[in-house]
Structure 1
Amino acid sequence: MPTILDHRGFPIQRAQLAEPQTSRLAALESEFANHPSRGLTPQKLARILQDAERGDLIAQHDLFQDMEEKDGHLFSVVQTRRQVLVGLDFDLKPPPRPSAAEKDMTAYARETLEDYIDSVLFDMTDGVGHGFAPIEQTWGWVEKQQLPVQAVHRPQSWFQLPQTPGLDRNELRLRDSSADGAQLWPFGWILHRHRARSGYVSRSGLFRVLAWPFLFKNFAVRDLADFLEIYGLPLRLGTYNTTATPEDKSTLLRAVVGIGHDAAAIIPEGMAIDFKDAAKGDNKSFDAMISLMERTMSKATLGGTLTSGEGEHGTQALGNVHNELRHDLRDADARQLANTLTLQVVYPVLALNKGLSDPRRCPRVVFDTQEPEDLKTYSDSLPKLASMGMRIPVPWAHDRLKIPVAADGEAVLSVPRPEQTVPPEDRQPPERTPAKSARQELRARLAAQLATTPTAEPDELDSLAAEMMGEWVETSDPMRAAIEHALATATSFDDFSQALEASLAQISPAQLVDLLARGTFAARIWGMLNAPKRPNA
């Protein structure tokens, strides 16, 4: 069996895929966070960050977790940046100029890994703040296929950087009590390295930038709490004589402190407590400091402040600019996630089950970050541009407007005819234009026929036919009147039929019989005169 390499070029060992690597490091499971944010000072924060640069990541990433838990504003803006990535649609695309086998692998990966990618995506976005997000995978057999069956997010404090000179200072390893740590097993991890800024992995996380605003904001919040505790209370001043003992002084101090909260105290004779003016001041300076630090967090995380609720004097145009900046951050984050998913999720599955050996030919995860265009703008402009002669491809319009192409036989929307857009109850009957009388129309037809027929002068039969036509038109007038009357009074087809029968019944049959008899006689005479003669007749 050929050796399978991971995306870094390290050979895999199939026996390692059946168990988590951390199962052999029980000491890590028994660790608890030290919560270094307690008593945090500028000197302590600087020391924590410097230790991380030297390879000790424990305190730094424990602090980062505390920051998310203790600062609601920081948690909100970071979650906004993470959740917008989770909400994106994604697809798997084949490599450029794919072969038939590569198209089949793309379809297989799309069907097999869609749900799995959804399950690990949120944990991968934890790398935005920390700089990396480690997710441990366990593999199993599913319908004769070797697939990842479990993915568990591991704390960043479980990792370290190698200490031996010459080793890669950017390689993350598990802490196993050795100087350099244990290398990560191939195919055993999804290690998403998210670069919010350039530099070593210990300095690439967004929380490195947010740590100082977090510290200064907490100073302001603490001082504001102290101020509010004494705000409005009068200044208590205790006096004692020169013969007071240390015990007397302690008693007086306890009385001065206690009277501010309990409104009751006892003091030895000869001592006194004076009440001065109430504590003055306001909280504007504290609010200004807190607001400044929160705006700094929003700018660092989302690229602006008007998309996180802090803009007090922003216009809609400026808000749109800030929102576009957030879209740029989202698109950049999505590209980094897609690269990790392609190399560390899709490629291992295809390498183990389909024999894929070149990561460069692996189907790519692609996030859909395109914004739907304004439908109204395009619906107005595209017909005008097409009428000017521009050849606009239909697939391009579908792609820009985010409208899928209908499959063969699939029902599609259609443009209604103008009369369909009016409710039936509002439709008006069409106006009837006065038509020519039947007499005028027949005479016009006869005149046109005589004018175009190269015959001799009209004979007696022509005169008779013209006379009959005139009589026929006159006889047909009652019929036309009956039909028009029925149409005008009927509200349904049944009403029309009944009205027409009643009107026709009033016409004299003698008129019709007489006209038909004349026509039959004239037709017989004309046929006898114009029929070709038979031979030997």
Structure 2
Amino acid sequence: MSKGIWVSPNEFVSFAELKRPSKEVIATRSRVNGSLGITGALPNPDPVLRKMGKSIQVYRDLTADAHVGGCVRRRKSAVLALEYGFDRESASAPVSDFIDKVFAKLRMRTLISEALDAPLYGYTPLEVMWEDIDDRIVPVQVVAKPAEWFFFDDENRLRMRTKDNKDGILLPERKFILVRQDATYENPYGIADLSRCFWPTTFKRGGFEFWLKFTEKYGSPFLVGKHPRNTHNSEVDALLDSLEAMVQDAVAAIPDDSSIEILEAAGKGSSADIYERLMMFCRSEVSIALTGTNQTTEADTTNAIAQAGLTVSEDIRDADAELVSEAMNTLARWTVELNFSEDENVPVWSMWSPETIDKTLAERDQILKTAGANFTNAYFMREYNLKEGDLGEQLPPSAGMGYPSFAENPQKHDPIKAAADQLSRETQPIVDGWLERIRYFAEKSKSMEELQERLLEEFDNLPEEELAQAMASAFTAINLQGRDEVNHGH
């Protein structure tokens, strides 16, 4: 009999059951703060929106500012410049081909740009338009909808406000893809980067207004009119009107017993610089909030600071690309579940920098080719995004790998000479003098270990990649030499 306790006259609970972790959610808003109403509408905790009592529309108005709009464009362009596509991974060929065809018909650039509104406003709902085409349910369009139409309830579920239901309605499944930046349980709305730009932009606009007034007031010289002490007020007013007209037209008529003196506003330049420094500071704050660097707004930026700023910008770009990738993979998963099975593996959509990936892929392929791999033109077209006609006829394996045909007549074909010729082609970037030393070491060495030690001693100052290429070439030569000796009974 199991050990336990009676929690009631009719209920016995074993100690094993008491040790099991609870599956119930304990920490909830309703338990801590009480009910938030019928729908449990959760207000956006954004500090700017909460204090001002406004919607996300106030952030949309910020993009009309030239500097804010430029930073937004730059940030989106950094992601849009990336390459993107699917990696089949463990997905089946029919599933992979189907997903490729579906996404090829979507307006991907527009979709990516709209998904990138999420870092700006915190969250962006993308509505998926489904249609039945050829007995398949496919997304034909994905459209970003205004974030202010939606809100979250106390269970962090997305709801939409309607004219018939101000409390909001729950959204159907597989209809809206929610893209959010740094969303948490406490803040399901995400973090809006434009909230960090609100006050700097507001202060910049105010400073610009005062700067214009200051320039108008102190940028032009003062005209001082002098009149006799007992002059009547009407004549003084007439003199002031003449001075005002003179400022605009440089022409004035004054009595012959009056005079005009021009005074320059000396010493006001340093005061005017205060407004300029304020605006430049505000511009820098906006640049840092949106792009991670202020190198484009600081005149005294050094190259080291610029490079550091560029690295931060790449980090932000990669984070934005991850948000887009998550949304695309959600759409791909829904499409596969609706048309195949929920157990089917789904291809993975991602974004990458073409220079980095191509270099890494090329280095990997070079190593595999040296090890004996024989790639097809179809592989190069797929992996390097080449087009029909970019590649010529593929070389045969013997020519591609440098292995001569040992079935040929040894009198007509010298395998050692063929190996030396191939070595010359493969090590063209390396100093030509290495070839003679490699051939010498290959002939004199009695074992692979001895050959390796001689090469390491000879080329210890070479870069690792060049040393590896030299050693691989020497190993190929001595291997061919051994085969030739066996074939000829030496």
Seen in structure 2, the aligned counterparts of structure 1 residues 169 and 353 have a Cα distance that, compared at 3 Å, is: closer
> Match of 2:106?
116
Q: In the TM superposition, what is the alpha-carbon distance from 1:125 to its structure 2 partner?
A: 0.9
Q: In the TM superposition, what is the alpha-carbon distance from 1:127 to its structure 2 partner?
A: 1.6
Q: What does 1:7-406 correspond to in 2, within 5 Å?
A: 52-53=49-50, 59-70=54-65, 72-94=66-88, 98=90, 100=92, 103-116=93-106, 118=108, 119-162=110-153, 167-168=154-155, 171=158, 173-176=160-163, 178-195=165-182, 200-202=187-189, 204-236=191-223, 257=244, 259-263=246-250, 275-280=261-266, 281-282=268-269, 283-306=272-295, 308=296, 310=298, 312-315=300-303, 317-343=304-330, 345-356=331-342, 361-369=345-353, 371-372=355-356
SS where residue 213 of structure 1 aligns? helix
Percent identity among equivalent residues?
A: 17
Seen in structure 2, the aligned counterparts of structure 1 residues 392 and 403 have a Cα distance that, compared at 3 Å, is: farther
Q: In the TM superposition, what is the alpha-carbon distance from 1:350 to its structure 2 partner?
A: 2.1
SS where residue 372 of structure 1 aligns? helix
- Give the distance between the partners of 1:304 and 1:88, measured in 2 at CA: 20
Q: In the TM superposition, what is the alpha-carbon distance from 1:205 to its structure 2 partner?
A: 0.7
Q: What does 1:393-432 correspond to in 2, within 5 Å?
A: 411=393
Seen in structure 2, the aligned counterparts of structure 1 residues 108 and 375 have a Cα distance that, compared at 3 Å, is: closer
- Give the distance between the partners of 2:151 and 2:299, measured in 1 at CA: 40
Q: In the TM superposition, what is the alpha-carbon distance from 1:217 to its structure 2 partner?
A: 1.9
SS where residue 173 of structure 2 aligns? coil
Contact 2:321 2:351 survives alignment (8 Å): yes
Q: Which amino acid aligns with 2:132?
A: W
> Match of 1:535?
none
Seen in structure 2, the aligned counterparts of structure 1 residues 135 and 276 have a Cα distance that, compared at 3 Å, is: same
- Give the distance between the partners of 1:330 and 1:143, measured in 2 at CA: 38
Q: In the TM superposition, what is the alpha-carbon distance from 1:403 to its structure 2 partner?
A: 5.6
Contact 1:138 1:151 survives alignment (8 Å): yes
Seen in structure 2, the aligned counterparts of structure 1 residues 170 and 52 have a Cα distance that, compared at 3 Å, is: farther
> Match of 1:511?
none
Contact 1:197 1:206 survives alignment (8 Å): no
SS where residue 140 of structure 2 aligns? strand
> Match of 1:428?
none
SS where residue 339 of structure 1 aligns? helix
Q: Which amino acid aligns with 2:324?
A: L
Contact 2:200 2:282 survives alignment (8 Å): yes
Q: In the TM superposition, what is the alpha-carbon distance from 1:77 to its structure 2 partner?
A: 2.0
- Give the distance between the partners of 1:183 and 1:252, measured in 2 at CA: 73
- Give the distance between the partners of 1:236 and 1:198, measured in 2 at CA: 65
> Match of 2:40?
none
Seen in structure 2, the aligned counterparts of structure 1 residues 296 and 355 have a Cα distance that, compared at 3 Å, is: same
SS where residue 63 of structure 2 aligns? helix
TM-score (norm 1): 0.51
Range that drifts further, 180-189 or 118-127: 180-189
SS where residue 116 of structure 1 aligns? coil
Q: After superposition, what is the alpha-carbon deviation per residue over 1:327-383, rounded to whole angstroms, capped at 9, x for unaligned? A: 22222211121112212x21232233224378xx5433222247528969x98x999
Seen in structure 2, the aligned counterparts of structure 1 residues 334 and 295 have a Cα distance that, compared at 3 Å, is: same
- Give the distance between the partners of 2:276 and 2:52, measured in 1 at CA: 37
Q: Which amino acid aligns with 1:190?
A: I
Seen in structure 2, the aligned counterparts of structure 1 residues 373 and 87 have a Cα distance that, compared at 3 Å, is: closer
Seen in structure 2, the aligned counterparts of structure 1 residues 136 and 321 have a Cα distance that, compared at 3 Å, is: same
Seen in structure 2, the aligned counterparts of structure 1 residues 406 and 243 have a Cα distance that, compared at 3 Å, is: closer
Contact 1:238 1:256 survives alignment (8 Å): yes
Q: After superposition, what is the alpha-carbon deviation per residue over 1:155-209, rounded to whole angstroms, capped at 9, x for unaligned? A: 33333455xxxx2467353353644323334333333223399962556111011
- CA RMSD of the aligned region, Å? 4.9
> Match of 2:433?
none
Q: Which amino acid aligns with 2:49?
A: A
Seen in structure 2, the aligned counterparts of structure 1 residues 373 and 266 have a Cα distance that, compared at 3 Å, is: same
- Give the distance between the partners of 1:196 and 1:80, measured in 2 at CA: 24
Seen in structure 2, the aligned counterparts of structure 1 residues 313 and 205 have a Cα distance that, compared at 3 Å, is: closer
Q: Based on CA coordinates, which of the two structures has the bigger radius of gyration?
A: 1
Q: Which amino acid aligns with 1:62?
A: Q
Q: In the TM superposition, what is the alpha-carbon distance from 1:404 to its structure 2 partner?
A: 7.6
Q: Which amino acid aligns with 2:287?
A: S
- Give the distance between the partners of 1:142 and 1:355, measured in 2 at CA: 18
Contact 1:128 1:196 survives alignment (8 Å): no
- Give the distance between the partners of 1:65 and 1:92, measured in 2 at CA: 33
SS where residue 158 of structure 2 aligns? coil
Q: In the TM superposition, what is the alpha-carbon distance from 1:91 to its structure 2 partner?
A: 2.3
- Give the distance between the partners of 1:326 and 1:370, measured in 2 at CA: 17
Q: In the TM superposition, what is the alpha-carbon distance from 1:109 to its structure 2 partner?
A: 0.9
- Unaligned 5+ residue runs, structure 2? 1-44, 403-420, 426-490
Contact 1:305 1:311 survives alignment (8 Å): no
Seen in structure 2, the aligned counterparts of structure 1 residues 212 and 55 have a Cα distance that, compared at 3 Å, is: closer
- Unaligned 5+ residue runs, structure 1? 1-47, 421-537
SS where residue 131 of structure 2 aligns? strand
